Amino acid sequence: MDIHAGNFFPPDYKTFPFKEGDLLASQGGNGKFSVNKVLKIDRVALKKGESINIQGKSFAATEDDYLLVVSCSYGASEFNTLEEARAAAAKGKWTVQMGHAPNRSPGAAAGQTRIGNSSVTDSELAGYREWRSAFDKGHAGVF
């Protein structure tokens, strides 16, 4: 049964401006840019009383609601300019530093600029599948 939007999660947890396969660039604290990739966007429904772990804290839904969990891979901060990151994305040549991280949509979107799109491969979803299995059993959360 599909759960309709409630008011437990903030509205920005229910939208995401990018799609699966989008290549994104972000600027790190060192001023350099990285290439990141949207691997999977899950609509996670919670019924009243069900819990979810967000940033290490458990939250019990006070009403039926849902949020989007955005799984991304994150690249190393290795490009001097956004244009260099865009060119690397177009060539498929960047260093993946973290193969998978599940985030709430506001965090996954923050500071990101779309620079391309590339189909998500089965091998890129290995970390996602491991996380999703643990998440479905209540042993993993989101950032």
Tens of pLDDT, residues 25-41: 999 999 999 999 999 99
Q: Using one digit for the tens of pLDDT, what is the confidence trace for 61-82? A: 999 999 999 999 999 999 999 9
Q: HSE on the CB side for 55, CA within 13 Å?
A: 2
138 neighbors 132 (Cβ within 8 angstroms): no
In single-letter form, the type of residue at position 27 comes to Q
Would the pLDDT of 102 be above 80?
A: yes
Would you say 92 and 118 are in contact if contact means Cβ atoms under 8 Å apart?
yes
Segments making up each domain of the chain, as ranges: 11-136
- The mean per-residue pLDDT over the stretch 4-12 comes to 88
